[in-house]
Chain A
Amino acid sequence: MGHDHHDHGTGHHHHDHDHDHDHEHSELSETALRVRALESLLVEKGYVDPAALDELIETYETRVGPRNGAKVVAKAWANPEYMDWLRKDATAAIADLSFIGRQGEHMVALENTPGTHNMVVCTLCSCYPWPVLGLPPVWYKSPPYRSRAVANPRGVLEEFGVYLPETTSVRVWDSTAEVRYLVIPRRPKGTEGWPEERLASLVTRNSMIGTGLALDPAKVKP
């Protein structure tokens, strides 16, 4: 990933500057200065607590991610009653596994079937089911995905290496701040009787966004 995109055209390339007498001191990028200004003011005014910010960041960096969603999907595959609950009230069924949204968003589970493949996008910005998938990958946030997922979903799927039969229709769901979607991919054949933990190992992040399928058990190392 490129790391030279963050200068924001301010032209502050101090290192090439002729102020040689200054080069012993510290420097913060324009962006880092803006973030520090915001944070220090918000802390002083009592809006945020720095320790709580650190804790939140650690949570998203280490504890919240697609493994959460994989547990939901595996449980639904293994347990028809849970699948039923997900269909009727995904917010409650997912909260039952302690994956709870911070923005009070409503969760909807989209079950893939032989006749329908579901795929999720956010055309406005990048609304995404954080509690079950963590934060979105770069491609999900990119303008080409946001526009082309709606205009040409099959084309996008092919770029992800997903080729669906003509008899399968593709439905695209546009996330909002209020409603987030979790795709329940189809359970692969040859997984009868597998425990949930093993089933979860077949569930990829992309399969829960709808840009992938669950892994083929024959191709997964035991």
Chain B
Amino acid sequence: MPLPDDLKRLPGLSLDAGDEPVFAEPWQAQAFAMTVKLNEQGLFTWTEWAEVFGAEIAAAGPDDAAEKYYCHWLAALEKIVEAKGAMSRTERLERKDAWERAANATPHGQPIELGAELKGHSH
């Protein structure tokens, strides 16, 4: 319902019970699911997760856009897997580079797989 402007302090947010999608993009779903599974595996407790994630959100400050929520989620996940020794930062960044090279070596429209960059240059 329309409200006077001075009451609109939750700007740009849909406040009704509409059916917005659970995840805006597939990567958000992946990040969410990995976190839940790692918690179930016992890599971290949900309290530990809430602390790391809460710190990301707090660092973003009060003017942060609601759409950035899963960006903070992902940054927290990267931090907590490193803190818990599941992977090192170097390992993670090298793997990210490998994915980028694989994408560059994969024709548009085909599934991107790790190792594509090696196959592409083997002929």
Contacts and interface: CB of A to CB of B under 8 A. Distances in A.
Interface in A149-195: 155-156, 158-161, 176-178
Interface of B: 1, 3, 7-11, 13-17, 20-25, 27, 29-34, 36-41, 43, 45-47, 49-50, 53-54, 57-58, 60-69, 71, 74, 77-78, 81, 86-87, 91-93, 95-96, 98-100, 103-110, 112, 114
Contacts of B50: 124-125, 127, 176-177
Interface string A113-156: 00000000000111100000011011101111101100000011
5 contacts: A38-B81, A53-B37, A61-B22, A125-B57, A145-B13
B107 to A, nearest CB: 6
A138 B14 contact: yes
B35 to A, nearest CB: 10
SS of B interface (majority): helix
Contacts of B13: 138-139, 142, 144-145
Contact of B10 (A1, A52, A156): A156
Contact of A34 (B9, B38, B78, B86): B78
Given A27-B103, A33-B99, A2 B57 contact: no
Nearest to B94: A37
Nearest to B100: A33
A88 interface: no
Contacts, number: 201
Contacts of B106: 25-26
A204 interface: yes
B22 A41 contact: no
A49 B40 CA distance: 12
Contacts of B100: 28, 33
A105 B50 CA distance: 12
Given A102-B36, A156-B10, 18 more contacts: A1-B67, A3-B25, A6-B25, A28-B100, A33-B103, A35-B31, A37-B93, A38-B78, A40-B99, A48-B41, A61-B21, A125-B54, A137-B20, A138-B66, A142-B66, A143-B62, A144-B13, A176-B50
Nearest to B10: A144
Q: Which 8 A-B pairs have the closest CB atoms?
A: A177-B50, A103-B46, A142-B66, A37-B96, A124-B54, A37-B95, A139-B13, A53-B33
Nearest to B11: A144
Contacts of B98: 37
A25 B23 contact: no
B34 A145 contact: no
A28 B15 contact: no
Given A34-B74, A40-B114, A48-B34, A5 B68 contact: yes
A160 B64 CA distance: 21
Interface string A54-78: 1011001100001000000000000
A95 interface: no
Given A41-B92, A177-B50, A6 B103 contact: no
Most chain A CB atoms below 10 A, which of B27, B40, B86:
B27
